[in-house]
Structure 1
Amino acid sequence: MTADAPTILATSGGLAPGRRTRYEFSALSRLAVDLAGVTGRAPRVCFLATATGDNPVVLHWLTEAAMLAGWQASHLTAFSMPNLPDPAAHLLEQDVVWVMGGSVAGLLAMWRLHGWDTALRDAWQAGVVLTGISAGSICWHAGGTTDSFGPELRPVTNGLGLLPYSNGVHYDAEAQRRPLLQSLVADGTLPPGYATDDGAGLLYRGTELVEAVSETDGALAYRIDPGPDGTAVEEPLDTRRL
C-alpha cells in the first residue's frame, strides 16, 4: 500500500527527545507514516542519514525510535559504499522514506553521485511518502538556506526540484533564516516558496501544497513571494495543529 498520489511532508520537526531512547518520533513523522495508508502490517520506513555522513549512531537512534513506533526500519547508506546491492529497488519497496537533517549540500552531492536523485523521484511518483527534517525538507525543493558551508548561512540552489519552490526551515529558531530566505526570494536567487517554524510541516500532493500542519503550539508555516522594490512578502498560512 502506498499513498494515492505523490506525497511529500517537508518539516522542521518530527523528532522529540525519547524517554528511554535518544529520540522518539513525534506527530509530524507519525502523520507521514499514516499518509502511506498501511494496514495489516508494520509500515516499512527507510532512513537516509546521508546529511550526517551516514553516522551509525544517528542511524541506531532512528532505528530505536522506529522500533518503539512499531515500524519496520531499514536504512540506505552511501559511505564507504552503498550498503544495498539495488538501492532503487529497495526505495520502491518502502512505504516511507525519512531523511535526517545535517548538510543538505553534502546530501545532494552524494545522492546525485549514486543516482539516488532519480531513484527517489521514481519512488515519489510511485506513491512512496517522502519526509524528513531540516536538510530532509530542503532537499525536495528547488533550494533554500543552509549552514552546510559554515556558520554564516548561504543559499543552496540545486535541490532535487521535486517541488518547484524554495524552502526555509527553522524559520523562527535561527536568526539568519528569515531575513536570508526573504532576500534570496526578493532578488530572484531562489523562487517563491514556503517556510516552517520549528514544529511545523508542509504537506504536498504532487507539487501542490495542500496543507500546513504543526505538532507544536504556535508553530506556523509561511508563503514567501517577491514584493515591490526588491522586497519580499511573507504570508502566514493557516496551520492545523495535529
Structure 2
Amino acid sequence: MPADQPTILATSGGYLAGHRTRIELAPLVHHAVELSGVSGRTPVICHIGTASGDQRAWNADFSEAADLAGYRARHLNLFTMPPTDDLRGFVLGCDVVWVHGGSVANLLAVWRVHGLDEVLHEAWQSGVVLAGVSAGSLCWHRGGPTDSFGPELRLIDNGLGFLPFHNGVHYDSEKRRRPLVHAGVASGELGRTYCTDDGAGLLYHGTELVEALAERKNSGAYVVERDADGKVTETALDVRRI
C-alpha cells in the first residue's frame, strides 16, 4: 500500500545512539515508514548511501537498526556498480527511500550518471516515501548550503528540484549555515529556503510543505525568504514533536 500522494520527509535527523547496536532509528525514520501506509507485512526501506561512498560498515549498522525496528533494509549501492540492471524495480519495490548524509554534490553527480534521479521521481509519484538526512534532505530541493567542496560552505543550485524551494540543514549545530542562507536569500542565489535544526524534519505532500516535525525537544524549523522590498525575514515554523 503506497502513500496516498507524493510524499517527502526531508530531515536533519533520524538516528540515535544504540543500546545494543551502534545506532537505532529515531522517530523521524519511523514516521517515514508510517507515512508509507504499510500494514500486515514487514516495511521495506531502500537505504541509499551514495553521499558517503556506500560504506559497507554503515550499511551493516543501518541493517541492524532496521532489523531491531522490525523493518527490512535494502541497500542501493552504486559503488563499484549498481546491485541490479533494474534500478526501477529495485526502488519501486520498496516502501521508503532513506538517503544518508555526506556529499550532496557527489550524490547528485553519481545518481544522474545512473539515471537514478528519474527512477526516484517516478517512485515519488508512485507513492514511495522519499526521505533522508542532511544531503538526503538537500537533494530533493533546488539546493542550499553544502560542505561538499571543503570546509568553507558553498551554495549549490542543481538539486533534483522535486521541491521548488531551497533547503538549509543542521541550522543550529553548524554556525556558518544560517548566515550563508540569509546572504544567499538576500542576493537572490537562494529563493524561499526551508531550514531544519538537528532532529527536525519537513513533511511535503506533493510540493506543498504541510508540517514541520521534530524528534528532539528543542529542535526548530524555519523559512527564510525575501519580501517585495528586498528585506530578508526568518520565520519560525510551528513544530509538532513526535
Question: What is the TM-score with the length of structure 2 in the denominator?
Answer: 0.98
Give structure 1 regions of 4+ aligned residues with deviation exceeding 6 angstroms: none
The separation in 2 between residues aligned to 1:142 and 1:117, in whole angstroms, is: 13
The separation in 1 between residues aligned to 2:182 and 2:91, in whole angstroms, is: 34
Q: Shift of residue 102 of structure 1?
A: 0.3
The separation in 2 between residues aligned to 1:229 and 1:207, in whole angstroms, is: 26
2:86 alignment partner AA = D
SS of residue paired to 1:201: strand
* Residues 198-229 of structure 1, C-alpha deviations (whole Å, 9 max, x = no match): 01000000000000010101111101101476
Any unmatched runs of 5+ in structure 1?
none
SS of residue paired to 1:175: coil
Which residue pairs with 1:241 in the alignment? 241
* Residues 60-91 of structure 1, C-alpha deviations (whole Å, 9 max, x = no match): 11111101011011011111111122111111
Does the 8 Å contact 2:181/2:193 carry over to 1?
A: no
Does the 8 Å contact 1:49/1:77 carry over to 2?
A: yes
SS of residue paired to 1:145: strand
Does the 8 Å contact 1:145/1:155 carry over to 2?
A: yes
SS of residue paired to 1:180: helix
Q: Shift of residue 191 of structure 1?
A: 1.5
2:191 alignment partner AA = P
1:145 alignment partner AA = P
User: Structure 1 stretch 7-16 or stretch 223-232: which is displaced more?
Assistant: 223-232
Does the 8 Å contact 1:186/1:232 carry over to 2?
A: yes
Which residue pairs with 2:90 in the alignment? 90
Question: What is the TM-score with the length of structure 1 in the denominator?
Answer: 0.98
Any unmatched runs of 5+ in structure 2?
none
Which residue pairs with 1:16 in the alignment? 16
Which residue pairs with 1:177 in the alignment? 177
* Residues 10-31 of structure 1, C-alpha deviations (whole Å, 9 max, x = no match): 0000111111111100111100
The separation in 2 between residues aligned to 1:227 and 1:6, in whole angstroms, is: 29
Does the 8 Å contact 2:166/2:193 carry over to 1?
A: yes
Does the 8 Å contact 2:66/2:73 carry over to 1?
A: yes
- Percent identity of equivalent pairs: 57
Which residue pairs with 2:35 in the alignment? 35
Tell me the C-alpha RMSD between the 2 structures: 1.0
1:38 alignment partner AA = V
- Aligned residue pairs: how many? 242
The separation in 2 between residues aligned to 1:231 and 1:108, in whole angstroms, is: 32
The separation in 2 between residues aligned to 1:175 and 1:11, in whole angstroms, is: 18
* Residues 151-173 of structure 1, C-alpha deviations (whole Å, 9 max, x = no match): 11111110000000000000000
Which residue pairs with 2:214 in the alignment? 214
2:177 alignment partner AA = R
2:137 alignment partner AA = S
2:200 alignment partner AA = A
